[in-house]
Amino acid sequence: MRVVFSLLIFALFSWGNTIFNGGLEIISIESDYAGELRVNDKSSLWLDHPKKDGVKVAFIPVSYYAKNDINITNSLNNQSSSMLLKLEQKSYKKESISVAPAKANPPKNVMKRIEKERDEATQIYRTFSPNLLVNSQFISPMNSFITSQYGNARVFNGSVKSYHGGVDYRAAIGQSVISANDGIVRIAKDRYYAGKSVVIDHGGGIYTQYYHLDRIDVKVGQKVLKGDKIGLSGATGRVSGPHLHFGVVVQNIQVDPLVFIEKFNSLF
């Protein structure tokens, strides 16, 4: 469904005017009418359309923890147009997972490491480059099937610790993992929870995450192309067995990677 606003030719491409927590919408506008964009009174970012000249797009990510509707406003030359996305709370499942006790309840001597790694990642995700680094559709990071969906509550050793911020691909140790699109490597290191990890910056505040690797084949600052091998799947970090965790962050908000790929790829 396409909703067009008469003022400033403000368009929303979606299947309706509702959105789920953990979801994403993409709005589009003719470049000449792209003004100050605000989402729930916070400044947001117009980007060049990856395929069409003379068109801007903006990504509207919604937090897993969101409780309120999303109000979007575009203002230019003392005129403004707005739209409202109605938030529908999605019901996510619970998953029980058995891991090493130290991974479910970390000892105090590793908490500084965990906090440092979290702060480092947050600082990266808060950095929005003004241009997309991609000009084609995203692909899956490996040829496998998904065993765990985004949003499921994670019950580690009997206690709810978090929600699942991505999807898990079934994988044995040592299978090739590829970049889902062009970008620049921002993280390539072993981390306490995520294990051997790679995070790739695709521009515009879009990042993909590849966790629990057995081996990392890229370095921070390295440019990668879609389909480049970045490492091998493994069982490092907080896991119950080998697999690939694949996540997507948009403007510092963790969203459902399958929804993101579907929405982004619809631009082409």
- Cα separation, 243 vs 97, in Å, equals 13
More confident residue, 164 or 253: 253
Does the pLDDT of residue 6 top 50, yes or no?
no
pLDDT tier, 8 (very low <50, low <70, confident <90, very high otherwise)? very low
CB atoms within 10 A of CB 178: 19
pLDDT for residue 130: 87
Inform me whether the pLDDT recorded for 2 exceeds 50: no
The pLDDT, as a whole number, for residue 94 is 58
Q: Categorize the per-residue pLDDT at 98 as very low, low, confident or very high, splitting at 50, 70 and 90.
A: low
At residue 221, does pLDDT exceed 90?
A: yes
DSSP secondary structure letters along 5-44:
ETGGGEEEESSSSEEETT-EEEEEEEGGG--EEEETTEE-
- Is the pLDDT at 17 greater than 90? The verdict is no
Please give the residue that has the higher pLDDT: either 229 or 127: 229
Two tokens at 194?
A: 């995520």
Per-residue pLDDT of 149-190, as tens digits, reads: 998 875 554 444 578 899 999 999 999 999 999 999 999 999
Q: Characterize the bridge pairing of strands 229-233 and 79-88.
A: unpaired
d(CA 250, CA 112): 26
Domains and CATH numbers, the chain: 2-88 (2.60.40.10), 94-265 (2.70.70.10)
Q: pLDDT for 106-127, tens place per residue?
A: 788 889 999 999 999 999 999 9
Kindly report whether the global pTM for this prediction surpasses the value 0.85.
yes
Q: Which residue stretches of 105-189 are H helix?
A: 111-125
pLDDT at 15 over 90: no
Query: Beta-carbon neighbour count of residue 32 at 10 Å?
Result: 11
Residues 6+ apart with CB under 8 A from 125: 205, 207, 249, 251, 252
The three-point CA angle 141-96-99 to 5° equals 75
Residue 214 has pLDDT above 90, yes or no: yes
